Each structure stands twice: as structure tokens, then as C-alpha cells.
Chains A and B, each alone.
Chain A
Amino acid sequence: MNQHMFFIVMSYGMLAICIVAEILTLRASRRAALARARAVRQSEESQ
């Protein structure tokens, strides 16, 4: 039983880690995309 719980926790735990990592990555990539787009516009305006 305890050994089975270890396998279940390892499986569901990894899924949870992957989902949290993806959510954080999505939020970071959105912030980065907005920052890059603003930088592109600012460099165009300064030219």
C-alpha cells in the first residue's frame, strides 16, 4: 500500500509540477512579449 502511494504521489506530483511550471512560463512569456513589443515601438519612435 505504502509503495503504491509512492508511485501515485510521484505521478500526480509530477503532473502538478508540470502544470504549475507551464502556468508560470505562460505568465512570464506574456510579460516578456509585452515588454519586447513596447521596446520595438519605443525604438521606432526614437528613430
Chain B
Amino acid sequence: MTAINWFHFASPARFYPLAGHIGRACGLLSLALAVAGLWVGFIVAPTDYQQGEVYRIIFIHVPAAWMAMFTYVVIAFWGVLSLSLNARLPAMMGHALAPTGAMFAFVALWTGAFWGRPTWGTYWVWDARLTSTLILFFLYLGLIALRSSIDDPRRADRACALLAIVGVINVPIIYFSVNWWNTLHQGATISMVAAPKMAQTMLTSMLLMTFSAWAYTIWAAMSRVRSIIIEREAQADWLDAELNGDGKRRR
């Protein structure tokens, strides 16, 4: 069996067309999974006997919260690679993921507020889970602002990698906050070591929407990283076809 040489794709020139293929496939996959997830969530899954119809917000709230946390871990991973290998592509990947992670953090907070109002009787409380998720959203905004504030891309890469690595400590705090502190937010509904505490159809919809969010994030990151590569590698010869308008051949 031939091992994949990952460093082969570390060059922006080789990664650019690959990102186009991966992005397109993930975009279509995300759309298909979202249609299936919404169909199961709104047509097949029954009304909850306690929460009524409003529980259907969890089909986007939970995937958004998971993606916001996971995306930050991935950005920190790219940050470690960027600093240790002094490579451009990992930094570009971190750059490309931050806006989508911020969007999911915002959606998690927003949908959580609109689920909390009818369920808890309030849009917001300063409990550990909600506050640490708000900090995650601010960390994403910080990453985006920090990159925009530094003109030299390589210096911006290093600064953002450091912020991502330092900020990743917030992710386990978010995850375990419901165990460590007395919070209004309930504990984990799904665990790797225990049976899920929800009906099969509800779980199916939530997982379909989660995989859709994964595919969407990959699509968005691949689309954004291609723009970043164009901007940062403007002088490279291999971009001639793209800049001359016949770039479709390279995708």
C-alpha cells in the first residue's frame, strides 16, 4: 500500500486545484444532508411532549455549537503546524476557517437565546456554558481583527497562530462547563460512552444536520482559502491561467 505524501499538497500551487474539487463535493454533500436533516427534523420527528414545537431549534443549535468549538480546535491545530513548520498553507487554512467558525458561534448563541426564552423563560443568563461560548465568539472576532490589523502576512500568520493556540484552552472549558459548574444549561445529551437521551428520529435529524454543517464548513474554508492563495501568491506563474480568466481548467 502506498502512503499518501501529505507534504505534496503543502504547496499552494498543488493545493489550489485540490481545494476546488474538495470544496465542490462538500458543498453538494452539505446541501443534500441539510435537505435530509430538515425533512427528518420537521416532517418525520414528532412534537416533543414537554417543549412542543420549539425543540426543533436544537437541529441547528447543537450542530452550530459543535462546529464552533471544533473549528477553533482545527484553527489551533493549523496554528501549531504553521509555527512548527513555518509553512504558509496551514496559516492560510486557519485564516480561511475563522469567519465560518465565528458564524457558527454566533448562530449557536442566537438560536440558544431563542430556544432558551420559551424553555427557560429568559434569552440570556451569565452561566458558565453561555459565557464561555460568548468568549469563543469574541476569540473568533479577535482572530479576524488581529489578522486585519497587521499588514505583513507572515507576521499576521504568527500572531494569529499564537492567539489560536492560547485561546483553544476555552474549548474544554465550554465542553466541561456543565459538569464543573452549576449551570442553567443542561448537560450533554449525546455522549460517546452512554446511550443518547433523545428519540431516534430527533437524533437522526441532529446528526444529519451536524454532518451537513461539517461539509458546509469544509466547502466555505476551501472556497475562502482559494481566494487567500490568489491574493498571497499573486506573482506566482502557476496562477496565470486563473488570472487570465480561463481558470476553470485548473479547478
Contacts and interface: CB of A to CB of B under 8 A. Distances in A.
Interface residues of A, number: 27
B117 A7 contact: yes
B127 interface: no
Interface stretch (B82-90, B186-194, B198-206, B224-232): B224-232
Nearest to B230: A33
Most buried by A among B107, B226, B227: B227
A7 B230 contact: no
B29 interface: no
B208 to A, nearest CB: 15
A18 B99 CA distance: 11
A40 B233 CA distance: 10
Query: What is the predominant secondary structure among interface residues of chain A facing chain B?
Result: helix
Contact of A10 (B114, B224, B235, B243): B114
A22 to B, nearest CB: 6
B223 interface: yes
Give the bracket for the number of chain B residues in contact with chain A.
20 to 34
Query: What is the predominant secondary structure among interface residues of chain B facing chain A?
Result: helix
B220 interface: yes
29 contacts: A4-B118, A7-B114, A7-B117, A8-B53, A8-B54, A11-B60, A11-B110, A11-B111, A11-B114, A11-B115, A15-B60, A15-B64, A15-B111, A18-B103, A19-B216, A22-B99, A22-B100, A26-B227, A29-B227, A32-B227, A33-B231, A34-B242, A34-B243, A36-B231, A37-B230, A37-B243, A40-B234, A41-B235, A41-B243
Interface of B: 52-54, 56-57, 60-61, 64, 99-100, 103, 106-107, 110-111, 114-115, 117-118, 216, 220, 223-224, 226-228, 230-231, 234-235, 239, 242-243
In the complex, the 4 A-B pairs of residues with the closest C-beta atoms, listed nearest first = A37-B234, A33-B227, A11-B111, A33-B231
